[in-house]
Amino acid sequence: MKTIEKVHTSNRSTWVGDGFPTNSMLPMHEISPATSPLIVMGYTEKYAFEPTSHQRGVGMHPHRGFETVTIVYDGELEHRDSKGNHGKIGKNEVQWMTAGSGIMHAEHHSEAFAKSGGNLDMIQLWVNLPNHTKMTEPRYQELTETNIPEVDLGKNGIVRVLSGQYRHENRIAKGPAKTFSPINLLDVRLNAGAQESFDFNPTWNNIVFVLSGKVKIDGQEFHNLQTVYLTHDVSVLDIECSEDAKLLIMSGEPINEPIVAHGPFVMNTEAEIQQAFVDFQNGHFA
């Protein structure tokens, strides 16, 4: 049985604004049904920032037709948007923003993090919306350490369930995120010497991203900044660790619809993209 469809390795980093050096782990130019409902993923890998009075980041910019999911492993970010939402997320917290029909938002280092400096370690995912929800009302969710369930794997480590569900020893833990299509996001921390099995729905798209450490899957070793696409033959996956490892396991039911993406907009047709630009230019996202 073939387990691994392909592997993407990032060997370069680009800057988003002045606050986010980003490794492209699901590149936009490779958008395909094989990643649906995920569109793109960028990873800022433990980048050390010096103290400053300037809140580095990205100023107000538009989105329509999808969701942004920002996972902070270290550091602290601040969010503001045109719907009046304002919040901060720190270590081990997540913000899940639904752009829907259109929103303007800004993302910066928090004032406290900017002043203290330190490591920023974070992921941002773009999650597609099905056609019938692309023009839904925008919304903002904060997932904190207090409402993200953590499953103890004993000596093997832990699994934090951000969305969807995870089964372990006949217990099912459910993530707090409200989603528009079925998606399981698991923040997995495995200890050196761990051997752990994970169940998958073979009709979904299933992806394992290695943030740090080394793991072995189907006899092959993978390391940091590698994204492993699993085949649809996989229903159970065994993962072994030769050293402490941090993984993001992503599984989602494919949205079998056309995707047209241009800059900050992800829609189904070129006409919808053009309309998004018109609406933005006419101030409808404000």
- 34 falls in which pLDDT band (50, 70, 90)? confident
- 124 falls in which pLDDT band (50, 70, 90)? very high
Cβ atoms within 10 A of the Cβ of 122, count? Answer: 24
Which residues fall within 8 angstroms of residue 5, CB to CB, at 6 or more apart?
Answer: 34, 229, 230, 231
Find out whether 102 and 63 touch, Cβ atoms under 8 Å.
Answer: yes
Of the candidates 145, 75, 147, the one whose C-alpha atom is nearest the C-alpha of residue 112 is: 75
pLDDT score, position 178: 97
Cβ atoms within 10 A of the Cβ of 217, count? Answer: 19
Q: What is the pTM of this model?
A: 0.96
Q: Is the pLDDT of residue 233 over 90?
A: yes
Place of tokens 């590698």: 226
Q: Is 168 helix (H, G, I), strand (E, B) or coil?
A: strand
Summarize pLDDT for 174-222 with one digit per residue, the tens.
Answer: 999 999 999 999 999 999 999 999 999 999 999 999 999 999 999 999 9
Query: Rounded distance, CA 227 to CA 86, Å?
Result: 32
Q: Is the pLDDT of residue 286 over 90?
A: no
Q: Is 30 helix (H, G, I), strand (E, B) or coil?
A: helix
How far is the CA of 71 from the CAs of 13, 33, 66, 121, in angstroms? 18, 24, 16, 9
pLDDT score, position 27: 84
- Provide the percentage of residues in the chain whose pLDDT is more than 70: 100
Q: Is the pLDDT of residue 246 over 80?
A: yes
Summarize pLDDT for 74-90 with one digit per residue, the tens.
Answer: 999 999 999 999 999 99
pLDDT score, position 163: 98
